[in-house]
Copies of this chain bind each other. A is one copy, B any other.
C-alpha cells in the first residue's frame, strides 16, 4: 500500500464509524488494541485519533478512553473557528460578507421564536455590555458583543446555524473592532445598533430584526473596508 499509514488508519477508523461498529457516544477500542488490530504502531494510531479529534469526530478522555462524539454539527464545526482566528483583513471582509447573509436571516427567525426567557437573557447581556460605560478594555467589549450575537442566533434553534456563525465570529476580531471604534468614538453607535436589534426582538418583528441586524453588520463591514483600503469602496 502506497498510502501513508496514518492516513490509512484515519480511513479505517472512519469506516468503523460508518459501518456502525461504533456509534455516536460509544467507546473506541483502546489505542493499544487498535494498534494491534490495524497492524500499525501506537504512535500512528494516536496521530489518526488526533486528526479525527481535531475534526470533532472523536473525543479523548484521559485515562478513560476514546469516544465517538454525538456527531452533532456543533461538534464538527468547533474546529472551524480557526478561520476567523488566523485570517487577515482581506479575508475578514469576506467573512463579514457571509455574516451579512446569515445574521439578518438568523435574527429574523430569532424574533419569531425567542422565548420570554431568551429575551430576558439577551436584555441582560445588553445591559451588561452598556453598563459601566467608563473606559473598558476592548477585550471585554468584544467578548460581550460576541455573546450578545451568539445568544440571538441561538434563539433560532438551529445548532448548525449557531456553529457556522460561531466559526465566522471570533473574539480576537471583535476586540479589534471595538478598539477601532473606540478610537473613532463610534462606541455609542454600535450600542444603538444593538438596542435597535433588541427592540425588534421584543416587538417580535422579524423584518425589523432583519433590517437592524443587516445594518449592524454592514456598518462593521464598511468600517473594516475603509480601514483596509482607505478611499476604496468594497465591491
Interface residues of A (CB under 8 A from B): 6, 14, 17-18, 43, 46-47, 50-51, 53-57, 71-73, 76-77, 79-80, 82-83, 85-88, 91, 94-95, 97-98, 101-102, 105-106, 113, 157-161, 164, 168, 235
The 4 closest A-B pairs by CB, nearest first: A94-B160, A101-B105, A54-B54, A51-B54
- Residues of B near A158 (CB, < 8 A) are 94, 97-98
- Residues of B near A101 (CB, < 8 A) are 101-102, 105-106, 161
Contacting A57 at CB < 8 Å: which of B57, B82, B95, B106?
A: B82
- Residues of B near A164 (CB, < 8 A) are 98, 164, 168
- Residues of B near A56 (CB, < 8 A) are 82
Give the distance to chain B from A159, nearest Cβ to Cβ, in Å: 6
In the complex, the chain B residue whose C-beta lies closest to that of A103 is: B101
Q: How far is the CA of A160 from the CA of B94 in the complex (A)?
A: 6
- Residues of B near A79 (CB, < 8 A) are 54-55, 79
Contacting A94 at CB < 8 Å: which of B47, B55, B73, B95?
A: B73
Q: Say whether B73 contacts A87, CB under 8 Å.
A: yes
Which DSSP category, helix, strand, loop or mixed, fits chain A's interface?
A: helix
Q: Say whether A83 contacts B77, CB under 8 Å.
A: yes
In the complex, the chain B residue whose C-beta lies closest to that of A112 is: B235
Give the distance to chain B from A166, nearest Cβ to Cβ, in Å: 13
Q: How far is the CA of A157 from the CA of B97 in the complex (A)?
A: 11
- Residues of B near A54 (CB, < 8 A) are 50-51, 54-55, 79
Q: How far is the CA of A157 from the CA of B98 in the complex (A)?
A: 12
Q: How far is the CA of A50 from the CA of B43 in the complex (A)?
A: 12
- A-B contacts, 21 listed (Cβ < 8 Å): A46-B47, A50-B51, A51-B54, A54-B55, A54-B79, A56-B82, A71-B86, A71-B87, A71-B91, A73-B87, A76-B80, A76-B83, A76-B86, A77-B83, A91-B160, A94-B160, A94-B161, A97-B160, A101-B101, A101-B106, A113-B235
- Residues of B near A80 (CB, < 8 A) are 76-77, 80
Q: How far is the CA of A6 from the CA of B17 in the complex (A)?
A: 25
- Residues of B near A46 (CB, < 8 A) are 43, 47
Q: How far is the CA of A148 from the CA of B46 in the complex (A)?
A: 38
